[in-house]
Amino acid sequence: MDLFTYQSLSTLTGAVTATVLTTEFCKLIWPGKGTSTRWMALLIAEGVVFNGLLVASSAMGSWQVVHDLVSNGANGGKEA
């Protein structure tokens, strides 16, 4: 079973998932800590699809939502 197929990468969801996972993997192995994650995501999105601006912005936005939920807890930092 393939992790990414051309059919899954042709959808917005598949391209965003590939961009997020590849960006996070590259951040782990990339020796340069001064590299901006947003620029790295844009370059990776351009490699996944030709016009990767929509994919990159979707990937950055979805990762920010996940990061905020994990950082603030499941209730979004609000008291129940």
Quote the CA–CA distance of 33 and 30 in Å, as a whole number: 7
- Sequence ranges of the domains in the chain: 9-72
On the CB side of 60, CA atoms within 13 Å amount to 16
How high is the pLDDT of residue 72? 78
pLDDT tens by residue, 32-47: 667 788 888 888 888 8
What CA dihedral angle connects 72, 35, 44 and 12, to 10 degrees?
20
Contact between 55 and 11 (Cβ < 8 Å): no
Please tell me the pTM assigned to this model: 0.62
